[in-house]
Structure 1
Amino acid sequence: MAKHYPVPRGVMAVRAEGAAPTNAEVKALVEGVQAAFAQFKAEHTKQLEEVKAGRSGADQEAKLKEINGALDALQKEVEDAHTKIAAGQMGSPGAGLRDKEYTESFNAHMRKGDVQAALNKGTAEDGGFLTPVEWDRTITDKLREESPMRELAQIQPTSKAGWTKLFNMGGTGSGWVGETDQRPETDTPTLKSLGFGHGEIYANPAATQQMLDDGEINIEAWLASEVQAEFAEQEGLAFISGDGVKKPAGILTYVEGGTNAAKHPFGAIPVTNSGAAADIGSDAVLDLIYGLPKKYRQNARFLTNNLTIAKLRKLKDGQGNYLWQPSAQAGQPATFHGYGLAEDENMPDVAANALPIMFGDFKRGYLIIDRMGVRVLRDPFTKKPYVLFYTTKRVGGGVQNPECLRALKVAA
């Protein structure tokens, strides 16, 4: 029987859902991550020694997978702790709703179908209703917690159906003149426009009328949770690999060779090869970093998935130091080569010709367009005895500056 390898326990789930952790709990989380990483390094060293000695090192590989899982969970707890602390600092507890009257009327409509006077300002031409400010903000905040790209990218709210941005392509002329020389007209700069792919995303959760009548569910929390799960899954995938047709244009599609490589006036996102047909080396990642202009490296981060992070944890520099380092405090991400790591499971795995790692200043590089207002249509007729809450939101996105970004391609 294989020996079970112990990993740090007892520091998971710092508090009840949504509650901000204490300083002691945050400290315990960080210490747990540090201890798990120390175990990881010890087992990885043993594995390398086994391989050098001509043995398989399979036992150590199994232990590494177990510790990797614990490290992932602990690291996420540390990052979630920062989110909860920040959320607890936003506004004073008990502060009144910004649109209390409308919120109460909206709740009444969701439960009974009654349309009250206070709800008229939310009436839409298509028969739907805009959610109250508090609901809209709650859903947006939950999506931000769920979607790594919403954390990294710039988000632009708009009241329009789409968004177009102008780019100065240069071309301004100039010349030297004397004091009394003529000043002939010079060339003027040229401008190019770029549209961002957008579409409508929807969710359609259902509840029985009896559940609504008896107050068995918290309408606001339930609806936000249902919408969050569906919206986050759909838009998260679109922000990474969406084709821009009735949805955002994904960041990977702007990479050299991608479907949107020729779309941006500034060109495609440059690629750095990994140096191996099916693997990643530390030198290639270093090339990726320094292939990005210095002015964009200050706020740069890596974007990759969980399995790729597990590979990066094993990489060392020339002095044998591990390049991946865990968080030292709440709110600080794990780092690789000194730069923060963001995890998104929609990024590809390491495989031949895949693009498993993006690096750059995502805030300047990628733009998410949010059409203001989530719309909810109460439908008690289509699926009796259930009441459907058809919920929609218009979302768009695309690369606004490819010069801020670089991609690592798995290729020799």
Structure 2
Amino acid sequence: MSEMVKTLRERRANVWEQAKAIADAASDANRNFSAEEQGKWDVLNEEINQLDQRIKSALDTEARAKEADDAFNRLHTSQGKNKGAQGGAANRHVTAERDAGDGGDELRAWMRGETRSRFFEVLPEGPVDWRKVQSRALTVGTTTAGGDTVPTNFYDRLVEHLIQNSAIMQSGATILNTAGGETIQIPKTTAHSTAALVTEGSTIGTSEPTFGQVELGAYKYGALIQISRELLDDTGVDLEGYLAMQAGRALGNAFGAHAITGDGSGKPDGVVHGASLGKTGGTGVGGAFSSDDLIDLFFSVIAPYRKSSAATWMMADSSIANARKLKDTTGQYIWQPGLQAGVPDTILGKPVLTEPNMAAVATSAKSVLFGDMSQYFVRLAGGIRFERSDDFAFDTDLVTFRALMRADGALVDLTGAVKYYAGGAS
């Protein structure tokens, strides 16, 4: 980690202490924030958010620099080997190097129109361990977390950006990657078996779990990306990284919104739609939640689910700003900042993910989500399909790329694996 990142993290910790001092003063006096205090609180929270973005950007930059250095080192080593080879042996070596690569040269040639194919489909190379992909995306730039040992091909880079722009993909959701897009049936649990005390000689009652089925289809998501001819011709530009970033962000934002709030009608069934009520807020507070409300929501999810490694909080930025002010009965803040690289902020020991598609605090609004997100299934059909057109923006000399992805999602455990907080009536 660079000195700049360390300095930014120290600044973040200092700003948080200033914000805590304001909240402590109001809490000790048993009063609401004054207008001046509210203004300072908002400024400090905004600075924390900006520092988070700067830290993430710095870590991303360090990671890209590391990858570029590694690429140049590999190229230098490869050239040294080629110079030492003779005749046909050298040609065989070059071919082997190209075959063993990640298709980067082929992709770049296609992007510049040097091949006759109109489309390029990006598929994972072999079975995909999504836990590893997610881990890499969440700890980008952290070499000790495995960044030095994981090769990054175009598919991995694209998926990283897709995950970074979708909280449901970050949360540990179960990913099903299928070759085709035909509808698949997934069993869902709607009720568990129950037992009862039985006296001697009495009949034991039967109780069976109740199952249903969830159909996961393949809704199509698409984005148009335009690149200038000059950019395509400049061999010094990281075209793969640019296309992966643009496509990953666009597709991740589009699918991520439906994975949170979709109603299952012509779109994926979002996790909020499938979740059950865990806690309703009090009246007269405009839907705002208290520390007791979040604690009640936490314990409304039964132990096996809330202890899961995929148990996660989700809320919008404005809700997180409110959560930062809350204390438990002992005067301790329930929101704890993550001060180390790769360690998220937590509430009651569980990570908090920012999700802009979650509802803001309001009466009857489902503004906070908590539970085992591995019970949300995401189905991805095939790879990401790219198509190019030189004619779409012919008058501006722009090459247009169309990125297509097919996906669906639904919560498969409706017994209370994921629950939401609903703001009370005013």
Smaller-chain TM-score bracket: 0.7 to 0.9
The one-letter code sitting in structure 2 at the alignment partner of 1:131 is V
Per mean C-alpha deviation after superposition, the further-off stretch among 382-391 and 59-68 is 382-391
Aligned-pair CA distance for 1:164: 2.0
1:178-193 superposed matches below 5 A:
192-193=212-213
Distance in 1 between residues matched to 2:388 and 2:30, nearest whole Å: 63
- Which of 331, 340, 352 aligns to 1:329? It is 340
Does residue 382 of structure 2 align to residue 372 of structure 1? yes
Task: Give the 3 Å change call, closer, same or farther, for CA 379–99 of structure 1 in structure 2.
Answer: farther
Contact kept in structure 2, 1:206 and 1:386, CA below 8 Å: yes
The one-letter code sitting in structure 2 at the alignment partner of 1:251 is V
Which residue of the partner structure matches residue 195 of structure 1?
215
The one-letter code sitting in structure 2 at the alignment partner of 1:285 is L
The one-letter code sitting in structure 2 at the alignment partner of 1:275 is G
**CA distances 1:46-81 after superposition (whole Å, capped 9, x unpaired):** 4457784xx971111100001111222334556777
Aligned-pair CA distance for 1:112: 2.6
Which residue of the partner structure matches residue 142 of structure 1?
161
Task: Give the 3 Å change call, closer, same or farther, for CA 99–345 of structure 1 in structure 2.
Answer: farther
- Which of 311, 320, 340 aligns to 2:331? It is 320
- Which of 395, 414, 418 aligns to 1:405? It is 418
For the residue of structure 2 that corresponds to 1:301, the secondary structure is strand
1:332-347 superposed matches below 5 A:
332-347=343-358
Aligned-pair CA distance for 1:210: 4.7
Aligned-pair CA distance for 1:146: 2.2
Distance in 1 between residues matched to 2:298 and 2:193, nearest whole Å: 30
| Unaligned stretches of 5+ residues in structure 1 | 1-20, 116-122, 173-185, 256-268
- Which of 30, 37, 40 aligns to 1:63? It is 40
Task: Give the 3 Å change call, closer, same or farther, for CA 401–343 of structure 1 in structure 2.
Answer: same
- Which of 337, 348, 352 aligns to 2:359? It is 348
- Which of 158, 163, 168 aligns to 2:184? It is 163
Does residue 302 of structure 2 align to residue 270 of structure 1? no
Following TM superposition, the consecutive aligned residue runs of length 4 or more in structure 1 with deviations greater than 6 angstroms are: 79-90, 95-98, 168-172, 186-190
Contact kept in structure 1, 2:316 and 2:360, CA below 8 Å: yes
Distance in 1 between residues matched to 2:208 and 2:289, nearest whole Å: 46
**CA distances 1:329-376 after superposition (whole Å, capped 9, x unpaired):** 2222112233221111111100011011000111x2211112221111
Q: Which structure dedicates a bigger proportion of its chain to strand?
A: 2
Which residue of the partner structure matches residue 249 of structure 1?
269
Structure-1-length-normalised TM-score: 0.75
The one-letter code sitting in structure 2 at the alignment partner of 1:347 is M
The CA RMSD over aligned residues, in Å, is 3.5
Which residue of the partner structure matches residue 131 of structure 1?
122
Contact kept in structure 1, 2:301 and 2:371, CA below 8 Å: yes
Aligned-pair CA distance for 1:389: 1.1
Which residue of the partner structure matches residue 406 of structure 2?
394
**Number of matched residues?**
353
Distance in 2 between residues matched to 1:218 and 1:352, nearest whole Å: 48
Which residue of the partner structure matches residue 34 of structure 1?
13
Aligned-pair CA distance for 1:212: 2.7
- Which of 276, 289, 301 aligns to 1:292? It is 301
Distance in 1 between residues matched to 2:120 and 2:279, nearest whole Å: 48
Distance in 2 between residues matched to 1:203 and 1:34, nearest whole Å: 39
Per mean C-alpha deviation after superposition, the further-off stretch among 336-345 and 289-298 is 336-345
Distance in 2 between residues matched to 1:45 and 1:86, nearest whole Å: 38
Contact kept in structure 2, 1:148 and 1:343, CA below 8 Å: yes
Does residue 331 of structure 2 align to residue 310 of structure 1? no
Contact kept in structure 2, 1:198 and 1:246, CA below 8 Å: no
Contact kept in structure 1, 2:217 and 2:408, CA below 8 Å: yes
Does residue 259 of structure 2 align to residue 239 of structure 1? yes
For the residue of structure 2 that corresponds to 1:356, the secondary structure is strand
**CA distances 1:1-58 after superposition (whole Å, capped 9, x unpaired):** xxxxxxxxxxxxxxxxxxxx34x55544443332111100112234457784xx9711
Distance in 1 between residues matched to 2:192 and 2:382, nearest whole Å: 34
Distance in 2 between residues matched to 1:330 and 1:409, nearest whole Å: 33
Task: Give the 3 Å change call, closer, same or farther, for CA 304–166 of structure 1 in structure 2.
Answer: same
**CA distances 1:115-136 after superposition (whole Å, capped 9, x unpaired):** 3xxxxxxx7xxx6321365322
Aligned-pair CA distance for 1:208: 3.7
Aligned-pair CA distance for 1:379: 1.2
**CA distances 1:302-324 after superposition (whole Å, capped 9, x unpaired):** 11111001111111122222221
The one-letter code sitting in structure 2 at the alignment partner of 1:149 is I
Q: Which structure dedicates a bigger proportion of its chain to helix?
A: 2
Per mean C-alpha deviation after superposition, the further-off stretch among 314-323 and 73-82 is 73-82
The one-letter code sitting in structure 2 at the alignment partner of 1:129 is F
Contact kept in structure 1, 2:278 and 2:301, CA below 8 Å: no
The one-letter code sitting in structure 1 at the alignment partner of 2:369 is M
For the residue of structure 1 that corresponds to 2:48, the secondary structure is helix
Aligned-pair CA distance for 1:249: 1.6
Distance in 2 between residues matched to 1:206 and 1:87, nearest whole Å: 23
The one-letter code sitting in structure 1 at the alignment partner of 2:305 is Y
Does residue 280 of structure 2 align to residue 280 of structure 1? no
Task: Give the 3 Å change call, closer, same or farther, for CA 56–78 of structure 1 in structure 2.
Answer: closer
